[in-house]
Structure formats: C-alpha cells, structure tokens
A and B are shown apart, each in its own frame.
Chain A
Amino acid sequence: MARITAGVGCSHVPALGVAVDLGKTGEDYWKPIFDGFEWTKAWEQEARPDVVILVYNDHASAFDMKLIPTFAIGCGEAYAPADEGWGPRKVPVVEGHPDLAWHIAQSLILDEFDMTIINEMDVDHGLTVPLSMMFGQPEAWPCKVIPLAVNVVTYPPPTGNRCWALGEAIGRAVASFPEDLNVQIWGTGGMSHQLQGPRAGLINAAWDGRFLDGLVGDSDALRRIPHIEYLRETGSEGIEMVMWLIMRGALGKATRMLHRHYHVPASNTAVGHIVLEPT
C-alpha cells in the first residue's frame, strides 16, 4: 500500500530559485537560508520518496483570470518550468505520477472534495523552488511529483479548516492506493510577507514561530485561524500558509518534528521550513 511517510513545510520565494540558478547560495546574504536546508537535503537522500504531493499556488503563470480553480490536482505525465517573464528556469522537467494522481482525484471527489483536474500545465517558482531547496541541482528530479494547486490569490481562498480537511482526505486516498509507494506531502508558500501597498515588507517572526509550533504534536488549533488573522498579522501574502495545513492534515492525528529552520529575509519574505513525520 502507498503511505505518507513525511510532510515538509517550505517557503517558495522566487529569489531562492534565482540564487540557486546563478550559483549565489554561498553568498553572505543567502548562506544562512541555504544552510538551514542542508539537513533536509541529506535527509531526503535517505528518505528517497517515490512521489511528492506538492501543494503550492500558481502565481499568474498557468492560470490567469479566465479560470480560478480553488483546488486543482495535476494528473498529467509531465510539467515544464513556466516562463514567468524572464524565461523558464533551467531546471529539470517535473515528472508526474498519473496513476496515483488520478486515484487521489477520484477518491477526493467521492469524498466530496470537488477537484479540478489538470492534464497539461507549466509549473512556476511556487513548485520548482521547493524542489531546488530539497534536492539541489540534479540532472533529473529524484521523484515523481503530483502538483496540487490552491487559489490563494483571488479572495476568498479556501478556509484553513477546509485545507486541513482536504489534507485528511488526501491521506485516506493515498492509503487506499494498492501499489507500495513512499509518498511525501509538501506544503509551500509563506511565511509572513506582504508584496503590495505601503505596508509591504511586513514580517512577524513571533507569529510565524507560533504557527511552526502548532504544526507539531496532536493539536489541530491552526485549522481555525481565520483569513483576517493571516492578513493582519503576517501580511497579505502570508495567507499562503493555509497551504501548509493541507500538508499537516494529511499527516493524521499527530506529528513529530525532525527539523526546523527560520530566517528573515529572503528578499521580501520570511523563510520558514519544517520537516514532520506522522506518529
């Protein structure tokens, strides 16, 4: 049977991808961030997931304003890096896992989550930056990836409670897949940041710390944080953290923390990172 063996939370700041691609990760500004991922890179080499379910948001790359799916799952064979306005990142094509993805999609719909299904799309920094942070610069990504795109751009995004419940349903779906697969789920985006208006540059390290604390153990209090709290406390783009709750929900009743890292800033953003195991 397939099983979810670990969850990872990780910011997906585009500048991190640029730092990797231009070989700047050893520079004073970037080094403290990348140092915090060294543990995880080594751990991933041991963990060797077959598939990563990668929860992220598209940043006006694959989806424009014509179609705004709240939850969309990638069931395609492969996804090319998107051209976000300065040419596509020179990173490997992302290989999908259509068998597991379609199984999850069907299971979720029967479990009353009305998913949008994606067969073809390009993937932007929201998806490729976490892969770079966890796997470095390989010739090919070492695992298959199932993209799970969440609308956190046009209001309202899904509630934290709904995200958590979707994660729980993903956990059930994976557990009912007959093939023996080692599956991880990653929640990406955040942590505190605001990219717009006179209030841009907002960071709230204390709040972010409490959020990271709340992912560990058997509490599900985080699922009840209202959108307005993310906005007031963590900046307008801090709302991306609802995507971490899909990851947390999929890990089941309780978690144990393997690694945690936090650094301010990466350009406009607080970089947070956590590795969890279900217990």
Chain B
Amino acid sequence: MTTEDPERQDIHDYLADLEDIPGTRVYTAKRARQGYQLNQFAMSLMKPENRERWKADEHAYLDEWKLTDDQKQALLARDYNRLLDLGGNIYFLAKVFSTDGLSFVQAVSTMTGMSVADYQAMMVAGGRSADGLRSIRANALAAAAKETH
C-alpha cells in the first residue's frame, strides 16, 4: 500500500485527484452545493405521506422544490448517472429508487449500461476489476504511449 505524509494534504491536489477516477462522481462540496435541493427532495421521500403524494403526481410534487429543469427531467427519467452529474448523492437518490420498489443492485446496474442479470452475474463472479479504471490521467498517458510505439 502507498503511504504519504499525513501532516498536510494540499486541498487543490486532493480535489483534482477526486475528479481523476473513471466512471465515478465523488460527492465533493461542489456537487453537494449543486445538488442540495435535489438531495433534500429525495430525503423528503423518507416520510410515507410524501411517498404517496410523489407517487400520485410526480410533476406536481417536483414543482414544490427549487430544482432545475435538468434535475426534474433526470428524476422523471430515473437517469441516475445524470442525477449524479447534477449533484445527486447515491444515498439520497436511494430514497427515489426505494420508493419505486428497486433494490440497490437493480438501481445501481442501470448506471453501468448492463442488464440487472448481467450485472448480478458479474458480481457473483467477483465483481468489476479496478484494472484500467484507477485513473483517467494514467489511462491517457498509457494511450499516448501506445500511439508513439
């Protein structure tokens, strides 16, 4: 395992690294601010009476929240990757897919471009390897090196 000086972490390097992971949206302060209303909306579905109102009329329920049009569209479409891009956090978005009666496996698989069955088979076979998925920068360097050969 790698180690580093724990004394001081440069915040700019730290935040840049968080954006360097393929296929991943780390829930940074920037996303938390962008998605504040979106995540609080999702949180409201913790209450049974709100779940009933949401299920009865999604558009009307959404209009009670200060969401952007993009966020509303992505919610109606249950486009979870888009919702992550718009500041959603998976534990908050879980209130939306739980209300739909979906498990984590079912909802998570929709973000991977795989069917639920294929995704589950991948998990049973040991999951997705980190190889080639550790760093966007490292992948770009490797690709560039290959081209020069």
Contact = CB atoms under 8 A, between A and B. Distances in A.
Interface string B96-114: 0011000111001101110
A235 to B, nearest CB: 8
Contacts of B86: none
A225 interface: yes
A226 B95 contact: no
Nearest to A164: B6
A227 to B, nearest CB: 8
Interface string A143-164: 0000000000111100111000
Contact of B123 (A198, A231, A267): A267
A232 B21 contact: yes
A83 B1 contact: no
A15 to B, nearest CB: 7
Interface string A211-238: 0001000000111111111011110100
A197 B95 contact: no
Given A64-B39, A85-B46, A204 B130 contact: yes
B67 interface: no
Given A202-B127, A232-B134, A197 B104 contact: no
A231 B25 CA distance: 11
Nearest to B105: A267
A270 B125 CA distance: 12
B96 to A, nearest CB: 9
Nearest to B99: A85
Contact of B14 (A156, A203, A229, A234): A156
A268 B39 contact: no
A210 interface: yes
Contacts of B76: none
B71 interface: no
B5 to A, nearest CB: 8
A102 B67 CA distance: 41
B29 A223 contact: no
B65 to A, nearest CB: 13
Contacts of A86: 98
16 contacts: A65-B40, A153-B91, A155-B28, A195-B104, A196-B25, A196-B84, A197-B23, A199-B23, A200-B109, A201-B108, A201-B122, A203-B128, A221-B3, A227-B18, A264-B126, A268-B108
Given A60-B95, A204-B130, A227-B14, 6 more contacts: A60-B39, A198-B22, A201-B127, A214-B1, A225-B3, A233-B130
Interface of A: 14-15, 59-61, 64-66, 83-86, 153-156, 159-161, 192, 194-205, 207, 210, 214, 221-229, 231-234, 236, 264-265, 267-268, 270
Interface of B: 1-4, 6, 9, 14, 17-18, 21-29, 32, 36, 39-40, 42-43, 45-46, 48, 51, 80-81, 84, 89-92, 94-95, 98-99, 103-105, 108-109, 111-113, 119, 122-124, 126-130, 133-135
